[in-house]
Chain A
Amino acid sequence: MHIPDGFVSPAVAITGAAVAVAGLGMCVRRTQLELTGRQLPLAGLVAAFFLVLEAPIIPVAVGTSGHLLGGTLAVALLGPWLGPVVITVVTVIQALFAGDGGLSTLGVNVVNLALVPAAVGYPVLLGLRRVLPRGPTSTSVAAGLAAAVSVLTAAVLFTAEYAVGGAAGVPTGTIAVSTIGVYALVAVVEAVVTALVVRGLLALRADLVQVAS
């Protein structure tokens, strides 16, 4: 899902960068207010966690080729402001060291992977928690559903970015079917993994989950 250099037109890349800078600027302003004590090491740990789990040397356990995107998990653990910061750090390091995603398309990737879970996944998560009965199980179910919605939104957004400024002329319909089809499967896996990790953490250390409180 990390878009490499040259895949979208410069105009789309620049727009993506502008949106990413604006969104992250807001996140930075909000996190500096609440960045106390344990938040910082937890954020670092979550970042390290994603980096290790997404390293290509580690086989993805559930038998699909897609790795955990993790945006919604980060938002559920760290809140809507620090979560995107963490995913952005991971995305930048992956682009610099692992060659996963381009530098010129960093903005677009940050929008898809970091800002969508905060802007779409988090409200869905909060809304579902209000509807569902209280309790750790429904919180984790809500996190899982929010993760699925985030992944699908990112896939639709990716298709839209491609439709507006794709560098190749493949019909948008073909791209839409293949991308959204593949990511529908990824969304299911992501939902299950997110829900189970949140459920496990709520049982072991509920204080590490931001949405638990």
Chain B
Amino acid sequence: MSAAHQSLLVPADTPVHHLAPQCKVAATALFVLAVAATPTGEYWPYLWYLLLLAAVAALARLPPLTLSRRLLVEVPFLLFVLALPIFDGPPSLTVLGVGLSVPGLHAATTIALKATFGLLATGILAATTPPPEIITGLERLRVPRVFTAVAAFMVRYTEVLAAELARMRIAAICRGGKARWLWQVRDVTAGLGALVVRSFERGERVYLAMVSRGYTGALPTALTGVAASRVAWAGALAMPALAAIGTVLAS
């Protein structure tokens, strides 16, 4: 998880960073579920969720700009949401000559808000927890071994693959290769095939080295983390519990 993913981490020495990953993963998931269950047309709970997220972000000493930059991935989706008030049912009010429907406006606002809060919550998780720790956390949450083993290999190989891909792209550009149109797709896919084979042969060697050092499909317990204390669980789950109070009061 090089460039694209590692940069999400904001290293710091805070209770949120030190919290056991399984607690953080569970708390994030529950918080997002609480937000997603908020009924349409109620807006005050989002203020409450924002307050909770802001408290956690402040505790983790995350710069607000870093978190909000994450919201950029939402832009194409927001363009779609913008269309809702225009096409959703008969127009009941007119703004700047465009007929808008009130239910459509409510739906669009609610969808955009929920997606935004999902992004902010997972953003805090990603900013305070490195990917290998998240996999450890998932393992602790009894996620089947196949998933965590595949995920661990994925983390291991992403770096190799990204470097290999960059190398091959530079080589292609040097030779004047510039795949832009559909009829050049053969260059791209042949390149992809070569990339898979090159990376797999490297990955195979990595795997054989691991097996010869005693890898059996699971990491040693020293690396798979420890059980979280009750205090850690209570602290982590307080956040989604407070959010859920807002959700229940709104519905």
Contacts and interface: CB of A to CB of B under 8 A. Distances in A.
B49 to A, nearest CB: 12
Interface in B185-213: 185-186, 188-190, 192-197, 199-200, 203-204, 206-207
Contacts of B153: 40-41, 43-45, 47-48
A92 B76 CA distance: 20
Contacts of A10: 36-37
Given A49-B161, A174-B87, A5 B154 contact: no
Nearest to B77: A4
Contact of A99 (B119, B149, B192, B193): B119
Given A41-B207, A44-B153, A168-B108, A204 B194 contact: yes
A171 B188 CA distance: 39
Q: Looking at chain B's contact residues, is the secondary structure mostly helix, strand, loop, or mixed?
A: helix
B74 A99 contact: yes
B249 to A, nearest CB: 17
Interface residues of A, number: 67
A164 interface: no
Contacts of B186: 196
Contact of A86 (B134, B150, B190): B150
A167 to B, nearest CB: 6
B123 interface: yes
Interface stretch (A53-61, A117-125, A126-134, A151-159): A53-61
B128 interface: no
Interface in A12-39: 13, 28, 31-32, 35, 38
25 contacts: A4-B77, A5-B32, A40-B153, A43-B153, A44-B149, A45-B200, A48-B161, A52-B165, A56-B73, A62-B179, A65-B76, A96-B134, A99-B70, A103-B118, A103-B121, A105-B36, A168-B81, A168-B84, A170-B83, A170-B84, A197-B192, A200-B190, A201-B193, A203-B193, A205-B197
Interface of B: 1, 3-5, 8, 28-29, 32-33, 35-37, 40, 70, 73-74, 76-77, 81, 83-84, 87-89, 101, 103-104, 107-108, 110-111, 113-115, 117-119, 121-123, 125-126, 131, 134, 144-147, 149-158, 160-162, 165, 179-182, 184-186, 188-190, 192-197, 199-200, 203-204, 206-207, 217
